[in-house]
Amino acid sequence: MAFYAPKPQWKMETFKINIKQKLFWLLLISIVSLISLTSCNNKHIEEKPINELTISELVKVAYESRNDDVFPELCQLLNDSILESNHFWLQTITTINKETKTVDWMFLVELGHLPEISTRLIFDVCINNEGKILIMNELSNINDIKGLANEYKFNPNSIDKHITNEIIYVDYFGEVERSNVGFLLSTDVKSKNGLSIEEWALFFQCMNEMVSVFEDKKNEIATDKWGKKFDLLDYNQKLVVIEVVGFHLSLFFDYNCFDIS
């Protein structure tokens, strides 16, 4: 089974100003949205010493270890890796292991410039250098992220729906409507010469709010269809639920947003 690559939409105003707001084009049309991996799974990452992890692995391990004793060390490694790197961003891709019949996700490092994209396809959260959270350029707080992200992605108004959604056919469900909206979380590690442990904790708390939108939707669809949560589904059922929900999240580490309120 393979994912259907979302089709580009051009019926809404586009712009060229900021690469930060272009990055989802690659995320949304990438043919690697669903790939088969047998070596880059969680077990492989867990077997590596943390000082040998790549930047994409470090971010996922730090996210999953944000409440563990190793988190401060991971924060320092993140700072060192990002400060030593040129411009890049991370985007999620779904991974499948055909041998173990497991489904997971990982980050992929992306470089370069991207074409234009409709702003309606991006839900944008930014933590500025003062530690303030801006959601879609409006001053907000962490408790608002999940609800606003869910509404923005899964409940577009009738005017925007032809931009955000497409009809696809998937096993078990037939024709379904899928949202192509992706999430973006950004902060500025470089201008601050690294983030503190508390600042990294806030970053990953915001990321968790965004990830939970996808997790909740997967559980909702799984429960409605099969009467059990996503983690309890079999391999093929998980694949089709992910195909319907998607998992479009990108992280940006060298952008400082400003409070414009």
pLDDT in tens, 188-205: 999 999 999 999 999 999
Q: What is the pLDDT of residues 157-195, one digit of tens each?
A: 989 999 999 999 999 999 999 999 999 999 999 999 999
Comparing 8 with 36, which gets the higher pLDDT? 36
What would the two tokens of residue 45 be? 């990452």
Please provide the average confidence, as pLDDT, over all residues in the chain: 83
Q: Which of 10, 17, 26, 19 is nearest to 118 (CA)?
A: 10
Count of domains in the chain?
A: 1
What would the two tokens of residue 123 be? 């839900």
d(C-alpha 50, C-alpha 57), whole Å:
9
Examine residue 205 and state whether it is found in any structural domain, yes or no.
Answer: yes
Examine residue 196 and state whether it is found in any structural domain, yes or no.
Answer: yes
Question: What is the model's pLDDT at position 12?
Answer: 31
Residue 59 has pLDDT above 80, yes or no: yes
Q: Which helix (H) or strand (E) holds 168?
A: strand 165-170
Comparing 22 with 67, which gets the higher pLDDT? 67
Question: Considering only 96-100, 131-135, 141-145, which range has the smallest mean pLDDT?
Answer: 96-100
Amino acid at 101: K
Instruction: Please check whether residue 104 is in contact with residue 42, taking contact to mean a CB–CB distance below 8 angstroms.
Output: yes
Examine residue 69 and state whether it is found in any structural domain, yes or no.
Answer: yes
Name the residue range of residue 66's domain: 19-252
End-to-end CA distance of the chain: 46
Question: What is the model's pLDDT at position 112?
Answer: 64
Q: Which residue has tokens 């930047």?
A: 55
Examine residue 104 and state whether it is found in any structural domain, yes or no.
Answer: yes
State the burial class of residue 204 (Cβ atoms within 10 Å of its Cβ: 0-12, 13-18, 19+): buried
Q: Give the HSE-up count for residue 49: Cα atoms under 13 Å, Cβ half-sphere.
A: 2
Examine residue 159 and state whether it is found in any structural domain, yes or no.
Answer: yes
Query: DSSP secondary-structure letter at 253?
Result: S
Examine residue 13 and state whether it is found in any structural domain, yes or no.
Answer: no
At 133, the pLDDT band (50, 70, 90 cuts) reads: very high
Average pLDDT over residues 13-32: 39
Q: Which helix (H) or strand (E) holds 106?
A: strand 102-110
| Helix, coil or strand: residue 91 | strand
Comparing 235 with 41, which gets the higher pLDDT? 235
Average pLDDT over residues 232-239: 95
Examine residue 36 and state whether it is found in any structural domain, yes or no.
Answer: yes
Examine residue 14 and state whether it is found in any structural domain, yes or no.
Answer: no
Instruction: Please check whether residue 37 is in contact with residue 99, taking contact to mean a CB–CB distance below 8 angstroms.
Output: no
Question: What is the model's pLDDT at position 18?
Answer: 45
Phi then psi for residue 43, to 5 deg, are: -60, -40
Residue count of the chain: 261
At 50, the pLDDT band (50, 70, 90 cuts) reads: confident
Residue 141 has pLDDT above 50, yes or no: yes
Question: What is the model's pLDDT at position 253?
Answer: 93
At 88, the pLDDT band (50, 70, 90 cuts) reads: confident
Question: What is the model's pLDDT at position 115?
Answer: 52
Residue 207 has pLDDT above 80, yes or no: yes
Residue 9 has pLDDT above 60, yes or no: no
Q: Give the HSE-up count for residue 53: Cα atoms under 13 Å, Cβ half-sphere.
A: 30
At 24, the pLDDT band (50, 70, 90 cuts) reads: very low
